[in-house]
Homo-oligomer: A and B are copies of this chain.
Amino acid sequence: MTRPAEPAGHEVPAMRPAEPVAWPHGKSAAASFTFDVDAESAVLFGNPAAAASRLSVMSHQAYGPLTGLPRLLRILAEHRVRATFFVPGYTAHRHPGAVRAIADGGHEIAHHGYLHESLAEVDEAAEAEILDRGLAALAEVAGVRPVGYRAPMWELTYDSPRLLAERGFLYDSSLMDADVPYELDAGGATSIVEIPVHWGLDDWEQYCYLPDISGSGLIEDPAKAVSMWRGEFEALRREGGCFVLTNHPFLSGRPARAAALEGLIEHVAGCTDVWLAPLGDIARHVRGLALKPRAIPKPELRGSPP
C-alpha cells in the first residue's frame, strides 16, 4: 500500500491518546472504589410521578442510604480503604445522616448533581444552576466543598469542563476514552483532571431492575459481576492503568453483592503494586504531573450525510 502525503487540514491535532501516567510511591497502577449515592434522586428526576404513588420504588432507592451504605462503610473500614462517594444534593437533604457518616468514615464526598439530572437534556444555564444547587446542599449538610464531580448518568456535556473549572473543581470522572487520567481542556487556559470510567465497571448494568424505570429486566449473580470487574482490574494493573469501579449502595449494598464486592476490595487492597486511593488523591497526583491538556472536539461532519 502506498500512502499519499499527509492531507492538510484533516488532522484533528488534540484528539491524541492520553499519555501513560507515572504513579507515586513506586506503584505500577492505580485503583479507586467509588460509590454513587443516588438513592431516590436517580428515580425522581426521570420519573417524578413515582414519588407520588410508588412507595415500593421509593423504598427500593432508600435501601441505599439506610441499609446498603452502612454495610459498605463497615466493609471499607475493615479493610482500611478510603473511597469516593458521589452524592446528589437531594440525597444530602433527604439523608443527611448518611452523608455525614460518609464524611466521618474519612471518605471523599464529591458532586453528583442535585436531583441526578441527566445533563443531555439541559442547557448551559440550567447545568450551571444544578451545579450550584448541588454545591450548596453539600456545604449545608456536610460542610464539604467537593473537588470532584461525576455527571449523573455519566452525561458530561461540552459545557461541563468549563463550568467545573470556573467553580474550582479539580477533577471530573465521567468520560470513557482512556485507561488513565489526563488533563481535560476546559477552555481558555484552564483544564480539569479527567479520571475515566466505563459502563463495564458499573454495577447498574448487572443488578438494576425497576419496572418501567430502568434495567434490562435481567438480574445477574454477584459472582459474575465481580469476576468480570476483577478481570478488568487485573488487565489494567498489568498495563499501568487506573481502575475505577462504580457501585451504588442501593444496588451493591445488598448482602451477597456487598460480600462479593468485599472480596474484590480485599484483593485490590492487598496488591502492593497498586496505589489504592480516593479519586481526589489521584486527581491531585495527576495535576502535579503538569500534563498537557487534551481536548475532545465536538464532531463536525465534513459535508452532510446523504
Contact = CB atoms under 8 A, between A and B. Distances in A.
Interface of A: 1-4, 6-7, 10-12, 15-18, 40, 44-45, 50-60, 62-63, 66-67, 70, 90, 93-97, 100, 103, 109, 114-115, 117, 119-120, 122, 126, 129-130, 133, 139-144, 151, 153-158, 160, 174-179, 196, 198-200, 205-207, 209-211, 215-224, 227-228, 231-232, 234-236, 238-239, 241, 254-256, 258-260, 296, 298-299, 301-303, 305-306
B142 A3 contact: yes
Given A10-B96, A122-B306, A222-B231, 18 more contacts: A1-B109, A1-B143, A6-B96, A16-B97, A52-B158, A55-B156, A55-B296, A56-B154, A59-B176, A59-B177, A63-B178, A66-B178, A133-B306, A200-B219, A223-B231, A228-B256, A231-B260, A235-B256
Given A179-B67, A223-B227, A299-B58, A142 B1 contact: yes
B205 A231 contact: no
Closest 7 A-B residue pairs measured CB to CB?
A216-B217, A235-B255, A3-B143, A235-B256, A59-B177, A59-B175, A221-B228
A107 to B, nearest CB: 10
B235 A40 contact: no
A256 B227 contact: no
A60 B177 contact: yes
A142 to B, nearest CB: 6
A11 B96 contact: yes
Nearest to A43: B299
A167 to B, nearest CB: 16
A239 B303 CA distance: 47
27 contacts: A3-B144, A4-B139, A6-B96, A7-B141, A15-B66, A40-B299, A50-B120, A54-B155, A54-B157, A55-B158, A55-B296, A56-B155, A56-B174, A56-B176, A59-B156, A59-B296, A60-B198, A60-B199, A62-B177, A199-B210, A200-B209, A200-B254, A205-B218, A215-B217, A219-B228, A232-B254, A235-B256
